[in-house]
Amino acid sequence: MAPIVLLHGWGLSPAVWAPLLAELGPDVLAPQLVADGGSVDDWAARQLDEIPAGAVVIGWSLGAMLAMAIAARAPQHISRLVLLAATPSFVKRADWPHALDVETTTAFRNNFRDNPARTLDRFIALQALGDKERANVVAQLRASIADVRQHNGALAHGLRLLEQSDLRGALPPASMRCLLIHGEQDALMPVAATHWLAQRWSGSETMIMPDVGHAAFLSQPVAVAARIRQFIHAS
């Protein structure tokens, strides 16, 4: 079986992957992601050193954006991609409606600067909106929050990357094998972003999950893991 690497989302630690790790098995890498500076592509270049050749890279939210940048930079190094709640651009642009308003992301960044703990708590609540397992998802997210005192600067830079990055012109090649998983009720990232991405890869597959929010792998870990295993083992 190919090695698996899990890339978590903004504001969280690798502990957020615990339910999925329980289903996928022990031989999975889940590094702590730290946005030290530069662009998403700069970050991808640094992170590439920690990814074994032929790995299946699974990224969620900001981690999905990083996974796409890694696969675009070194497609021969990655066997397959699994993208959870993915988007090439978190912010709306003149030709990109499937995202958050600029005002929303700017306010979020300013609020994090002024009150990191309260902002993270609000972010967690948004991730669980519309999810039938809302209480459970919130509890697991709160148990996996990144250490703000240790990573404050990196978290602030991660928010800037969410605002500034637009990967639509720098996606992995059309031949990349990719599984896109998205909660139909995702309040942070419209499911239309996943449909747009699916059209860019000839080898892509999608799993749209009803009654699920931004963290499908926490809401329905058994179903998500089963679909990932099926994708990895398919010829």
Nearest in space to 178 (alpha carbons), one of 104, 67, 93, 92: 67
- Strands (E) across 131-184 are located at 177-183
> Of 8, 98, 182, 214, which is the active-site residue?
214
Nearest in space to 218 (alpha carbons), one of 152, 137, 125: 137
> Of 8, 61, 131, 165, which is the active-site residue?
61
> Of 8, 89, 131, 186, which is the active-site residue?
186
CA distance 184 to 170: 26
* DSSP states along 56-116: EEEEETHHHHHHHHHHHH-GGGEEEEEEES--S-SB-BTTB-SSB-HHHHHHHHHHHHH-H
186 among known catalytic residues: yes
214 among known catalytic residues: yes
Structure token digits, residue 147? 């250490």
Q: Characterize the bridge pairing of strands 78-84 and 177-183.
A: parallel
Three-class secondary structure of residue 169 per DSSP = coil
Query: Active-site positions?
Result: 61, 186, 214
